[in-house]
Amino acid sequence: MKRLTKIGFKASAILFSAAALISCSNEQDPGLEYAPDMYHSIPLDPYSQIKENKFNPAGMNLREPAKGTVARNKMGYNLYLSENTAEAAGQELKNPLQLTEANLTEGKVLFTRFCSPCHGAEGDGQGLVGQKFKGVPSYTSGRVAELPAGHIFHVITYGRGRMMPHGSQVNPEERWKIVMYVQQLQKGETGTAVSTDASEEAAQDAAEAGTENPVTGTPNN
């Protein structure tokens, strides 16, 4: 009787072990996908790829856009500069927007919302964040007071040093309006009134940029 009991225990142990191995095997049939087209996109998706693309270089769905083109509704997020630096942007980009009281007023609102926490309401670097972390320069002192519009636009877009990029927070047109107001702060002015001389000078600059992209200031060709 004892012998039969031992044999029974051994047989049970063997069967249990076999069942455990089978249940843990990676060779199980996972079954068929139900309606795979619901989650595997048939059209080319630039940010998701299941299979190798037979038509594009390197088999990738995502391709670099043709130079000089602007994606729909993106309003010129790509800057086509001879060199992608703030210094090059300062020489090659001009503000395509006309200096008007309306644009300057909106620029002030946007500056207050996105920039003043660090740079301060008067551009003196004494915003609440600027006071905490120190080192935020004043717009009216040294080299910063002479920075051209394109340089400022590039820094807003891509950031510099400890300043993070704001390209995803304000669109290009809004950035140029912020640039307008920053240039007011460079002169130590916080108002939004536009003098006749300044308006005429800005109109001349806008005319010179007339053959360029009306939002980014980059060539259309």
**Surface-to-core class of residue 151, CB atoms within 10 Å of its CB (0-12 exposed, 13-18 middle, 19+ buried):** buried
pLDDT band, residue 184 (cuts 50/70/90): very high
Mean pLDDT of 85-89: 93
Nearest to 50 by CA among 67, 32, 36, 71: 36
- How many Å apart are CA 139 and CA 122, to the nearest integer? 9
**Residue 189: pLDDT above 50?**
yes
DSSP H helical segments within 44-161, as ranges?
Answer: 86-92, 101-114, 116-119, 128-133, 149-158
Q: What is the mean pLDDT of the chain?
A: 79
So what's the pLDDT on residue 128? 93
pLDDT band, residue 26 (cuts 50/70/90): low
Identify whether the C-beta of residue 182 lies closer than 8 Å to the C-beta of residue 146: no
pLDDT in tens, 110-159: 999 999 999 999 999 999 999 998 889 999 999 999 999 999 999 999 99
**Residue 195: pLDDT above 60?**
yes
* Residues in contact with 173: Cβ distance below 8 Å, sequence separation at least 6, in sequence order: 75, 97, 215
Please give the domain boundaries of the chain with CATH numbers for all domains.
Answer: 86-208 (1.10.760.10)
So what's the pLDDT on residue 59? 87
pLDDT band, residue 81 (cuts 50/70/90): confident
